[in-house]
Amino acid sequence: MAESPYRGMSKEQLADKMHEFGGGTGPEPTHVLAMLQVRCVSDLELALKSLEESQNKNAEASEKLAGRVFWLNLALTFATVVLAVVAVLTFLRAP
């Protein structure tokens, strides 16, 4: 099969070419439209893959943060209990 003359064109160039053809239904406009659709779908696939990678990174960061918040809550609870015991003992020792 022969190499397409539209293969290296950007989406904008392909859209301009479609405009030149007037959006007709002949073989040339149909081929340009197909190339434009393939290019758009390819860009969408790349964007979705990038979005998925970003979501995975965010999920990992969220898990890490949740672990740190858990341990911080545990430390604060322990400190509160210790201070409450000290306060009660101080109150009981007062004359």
Domain ranges across the chain: 11-93
Determine whether 35 is exposed, middle or buried from the number of CB atoms within 10 Å of its CB (0-12, 13-18, 19+): buried
Q: Does residue 32 contact residue 21 with C-beta atoms inside 8 Å? A: yes
**CA separation, residue 40 to residues 13, 21, 49, 86 (Å):** 13, 19, 14, 68
User: For residue 35, what are the contacts with CB-CB under 8 A and spacing of at least 6?
Assistant: 4, 6, 7, 9, 14
Predicted confidence at residue 27, as pLDDT, reads 62
Predicted confidence at residue 1, as pLDDT, reads 47
pTM (predicted TM-score): 0.56
Predicted confidence at residue 6, as pLDDT, reads 67
Q: Does residue 32 contact residue 7 with C-beta atoms inside 8 Å? A: no
Instruction: Give the mean pLDDT per block of 10 residues along the chain (95 residues).
Output: 66 74 65 80 93 96 97 98 96 85
Predicted confidence at residue 73, as pLDDT, reads 98
